[in-house]
Structure 1
Amino acid sequence: MKSTTTSRAAPLPLVLEDLGLPIERSHEDDARRVLDTAIDRETFAFLSSRAHGLDVTGELRAVVRYFKTASGHTPEGFRRELHLGADGVLRVDLQRDIGYGADGRLRPTNVLYSADSADPGEVAPIAPFISNLTCNPGIIYDLFINNPSANIGGKYKNRDEVMAELGRVLGPGCDISVELNNPFEEDFSKLLDEAAKFREILSPWRVVIKVPHTGPVNGANARRLLEGDRRLGVRYTRGATTDLLRGHNLALRLREAGYRVNFTLMFEPYQTQMALQAKPYFINSFVRHRKMQTHRLAGFVAGYEASGDEEFLRMLRSYMVETDYLGGEDDGVTPLEALLMARDVLRTRDADGSEGPGDGLDAVRHNLRALRNANLPETRLIVCSMEGERNYPDIDRLLADPEFADMSRRIVVTAEPRYLARFTSTNQVVTYQRRFLNAANGES
């Protein structure tokens, strides 16, 4: 008996134009930008019986005008949303979402990329591939404006000039996270003025205000980090409550003033849940220095435990002073007490790998789980501060872990453009290029 198989053809894709709705004449050109918006069959059936006209929102019109978007298109960095009014008019809106490319289509991957740079020339090659750029005063001034090898001929004189050029290079699809110059400013109106200047330069749709957690540092004691032994008088956990929560309050106030906030300087997983209370647009996991410090602490502890040589404890204590585990008030802490503190740190970080692969990304995993359980659907995690041969490959492997498949659209990976660029290549690229070039030259 002859067997037969039948294949079911995929349903024809449906778009808004298929509804055949009359278009609001005064906005006809803008409405035609969104006629190719895909809709599923259930939505098509629902709208067919209820919608009586098609229009676009004022927000959509403002966005396409600001970014000078070509006729028939909507810009990168926005998703299209449908709203059916009580009057039966279906209105199409644009909602800021860096997970989308032009014309409301998703970017190639759910995982997004960002770059840490203020150099327009360095940013230009990576601009089409990133969804966010991060700038802080160190990046803007030290690494670019005041660096003659980067700011050739002193072309850019100030931060505003740099921001304007970065906005031009990056286009509409990329957020720009820019940090306030003085997070210790007590006059909130001055901080709002600074934020408003960034919004004027970059537009309300692209600007993100970067707010650092400042710990026990405040306007009165900050100079101690720049003078003398450059040590803070108190341990990092022992600042005044007002100081330890200053960044949280500043982030929340800016959020309530209508700004999206990149709340930064999260190194330990236990920082995250409180940081989320400030309703940030971005939170961060710093991985590089934390992993390096973990290895150094573990090395000193292992050396002492294997040999009993107290020189390891003296080196451990000195290292903990150097890296601010111990503040100025801790001069009386003995090497043995430092050992107990170091063991606590290593236990918190799962340094022995008993609860994971020991790749230093335990905070990233924790933060993704915390974000999954948060009531903040627009908040994304930036995985930042990486270097060396292992950091990015380990992160890449983590992002493919089935546990975090549902969180892939909530992740942004950021580094200096040159660091990201190095992982586009392998040794075999050179090998194969040699072969291709030889073939092109007619050689065997």
Structure 2
Amino acid sequence: MKELKTVTCTLRSLFGDDVNLIEQEEPYIKRVLDLDLSFDVFDRLSNYVKTLGVTRQFIDVIDTFKVSENETPAGFRLGYQLEANGVLRVDLIRDIGYEKNGKKRPTKVLFSADTANPYEIKPIAKMVANLTCNPGIIYDLFINNKEANIGNQFKNRDEVMAEIGQILGPGADISVELNDPFRKSDTELIEEAEKFREMLSKYRVVIKVPHMGPVTSQNVEELLSGNKKLSRGYKEVTTAGALRAHNLALLLHENGFRVNFTLMFEPYQTALAMQAKPYFINSFIRHRAIQSDRLNQCLKKFEVTGDTDELEKIRNILIEQDYLTNTEEVSLLQLKTMTENLIRYRHFNDGEGADGLDAVRHNLRVLKNSNLDDSRLIICSMEGEFNYPDIDKLLVEKEFEDLVHRVIITAEPRYLARFTSTNQVISYQRRFLNAAHGKN
């Protein structure tokens, strides 16, 4: 006898033609009666279910997004609650890995747009499960950019976010950052987050909380005036100041918000960030890899030539990139040791990190060993010919095959779009078009 591999079931299969529905919920229930149901779920429910209904959340989701008749919205998977007296209630659970009607997206790895430009979002909207932006992206790259904000149509952040929400629909999360987490009170920050929740709905909004390190309400003005350099080194933190972001993330979590914990550059940030119960964590890869490469080149040149100018270049890089303050006195030997330790930690000269993705690998391992099953990793800040292709290769490595569904790749839409093309696309299109038009 051949093994039975596939059985197609629906909720209607539980009852045959005599579906006993909760009358006042019938318009909602009919949306899911004929959607696919795994045989395993069917088998477990068939002996218990007598009546079918939906949860309050199911009703709220449908009413919030005004979904077409006989459909459930993208961005939700079906869940089931078995109650007393054989009542089965169907739920809609937020999960951006799903398209409409509880169908999984084409791939486990998800994509995200890193932009606030509605004109850039439109062509990629059906392909992304998330959008991430911050004040810099909203103001510098769009609202105040005359070329991007065509005709100065959008005047403020709220107008931009409302338009983005309309374009993306219910299927994509939208990560937005609070304007000033340093000088606003907790009450003011919650109020600002509430405005985003009202605008985008509780189902889509994710609040971005940045790591703050040594930057506090007392010294943040230093970044806004003069040489815009902080007088305090990045390691010179107070406990309250460095953990301000973590506690803000927990506060938002307690108020029902999902949190995108951002500005994560080094792997050692991850386990502590997870204590704040984030929905998203991040691996920023571009600038970190560029810094590593510049420092590594200087170090190698010094090792070959003994020219101390290379160590002075390292000093300038470390000051420029805020590893050192302008006033720190560090000897050339200390500079050399610092750089060697940094390169070693980042595995820049071995297979773990030669592609600049050691932090990604580490963060995936932390996710695997965490108790936060719904948290996902956003891989962000990429450029050049190899960042995305290297990530693409990493995600088919054997070690990470059971973690791919927890990965989101985010970049500017134009950067992602370039990897839909190769040189041979042109070659073959030349051949096909000439053949179609009767030319050699």
TM-score (norm 1): 0.96
Output the CA distance in 1 between the equivalents of 2:247 and 2:398: 36
User: Residue 22 of structure 1 aligns with which residue?
Assistant: 20
Q: After superposition, where does 1:60-139 map in structure 2 within 5 Å?
A: 60-139=58-137
Equivalent of residue 255 in structure 1, options 230, 238, 253: 253
Output the CA distance in 1 between the equivalents of 2:235 and 2:255: 29
Q: Is the 8 A contact 1:316 1:335 kept in 2?
A: no
Q: Is the 8 A contact 1:235 1:329 kept in 2?
A: no
For residue 385 of structure 1, what is the amino acid of its counterpart?
Answer: S
Q: After superposition, where does 1:188-199 map in structure 2 within 5 Å?
A: 188-199=186-197
Q: Is the 8 A contact 1:56 1:93 kept in 2?
A: yes
Q: Is the 8 A contact 1:300 1:313 kept in 2?
A: yes
User: Residue 394 of structure 2 aligns with which residue?
Assistant: 398
1:278-308 per-position Cα deviation (integer Å, ceiling 9, x unaligned): 0000000000000000001111111111111
TM superposition shift of 1:225: 2.0
For residue 17 of structure 1, what is the amino acid of its counterpart?
Answer: R
CA-based RMSD of the aligned residues comes to: 1.3
TM superposition shift of 1:336: 2.2
Equivalent of residue 36 in structure 2, options 13, 35, 38: 38
Equivalent of residue 369 in structure 1, options 361, 365, 369: 365
TM superposition shift of 1:357: 5.6
Output the CA distance in 1 between the equivalents of 2:204 and 2:186: 22
The worse-fitting range, judged by mean Cα deviation, of 35-44 and 187-196 is 35-44
Identity percentage of aligned residues: 54
User: Residue 350 of structure 1 aligns with which residue?
Assistant: 347
Output the CA distance in 1 between the equivalents of 2:95 and 2:38: 21
Instruction: Tell me the secondary structure at the aligned position of residue 402 of structure 2.
Output: helix
Please state if 1:409 is matched with 2:405.
Answer: yes
TM superposition shift of 1:111: 0.2
1:97-119 per-position Cα deviation (integer Å, ceiling 9, x unaligned): 00011001110000000011111
Q: Is the 8 A contact 2:364 2:400 kept in 1?
A: yes
User: Residue 144 of structure 1 aligns with which residue?
Assistant: 142
Output the CA distance in 2 between the equivalents of 1:243 and 1:262: 19
1:310-360 per-position Cα deviation (integer Å, ceiling 9, x unaligned): 111111111110111102451x1122221111111111101211x526111
User: Residue 210 of structure 1 aligns with which residue?
Assistant: 208
TM superposition shift of 1:146: 0.8
1:35-91 per-position Cα deviation (integer Å, ceiling 9, x unaligned): 123333343233221111000111111111111111111000001001100131000
TM superposition shift of 1:231: 1.8
User: Residue 58 of structure 1 aligns with which residue?
Assistant: 56
Output the CA distance in 2 between the equivalents of 1:344 and 1:379: 31
Output the CA distance in 2 between the equivalents of 1:317 and 1:77: 48
Output the CA distance in 2 between the equivalents of 1:350 and 1:67: 47
Q: Is the 8 A contact 2:298 2:311 kept in 1?
A: yes
Output the CA distance in 1 between the equivalents of 2:140 and 2:294: 28
User: Structure 1: which 5+ runs fail to align?
Assistant: 1-5
Output the CA distance in 1 between the equivalents of 2:67 and 2:375: 27
Equivalent of residue 326 in structure 1, options 324, 330, 338: 324
Q: Is the 8 A contact 1:76 1:104 kept in 2?
A: yes
For residue 426 of structure 1, what is the amino acid of its counterpart?
Answer: T
TM superposition shift of 1:10: 4.2
Q: Is the 8 A contact 1:235 1:328 kept in 2?
A: no
For residue 177 of structure 2, what is the amino acid of its counterpart?
Answer: E
Output the CA distance in 2 between the equivalents of 1:9 and 1:229: 71
User: Residue 383 of structure 2 aligns with which residue?
Assistant: 387
Output the CA distance in 2 between the equivalents of 1:47 and 1:130: 34
Q: After superposition, where does 1:161-310 map in structure 2 within 5 Å?
A: 161-310=159-308
User: Residue 443 of structure 1 aligns with which residue?
Assistant: 439
Output the CA distance in 2 between the equivalents of 1:246 and 1:297: 31
User: Residue 3 of structure 1 aligns with which residue?
Assistant: none
The worse-fitting range, judged by mean Cα deviation, of 213-222 and 419-428 is 213-222
User: Residue 422 of structure 1 aligns with which residue?
Assistant: 418
TM superposition shift of 1:223: 2.0
TM-score (norm 2): 0.97
User: Residue 335 of structure 1 aligns with which residue?
Assistant: 332
Count of matched residue positions in the alignment of Structure 1 and Structure 2: 437
Output the CA distance in 1 between the equivalents of 2:386 and 2:43: 51
User: Structure 2: which 5+ runs fail to align?
Assistant: none
1:96-145 per-position Cα deviation (integer Å, ceiling 9, x unaligned): 00001100111000000001111111100000000000110000011111
Output the CA distance in 2 between the equivalents of 1:130 and 1:11: 30
Output the CA distance in 1 between the equivalents of 2:188 and 2:118: 28
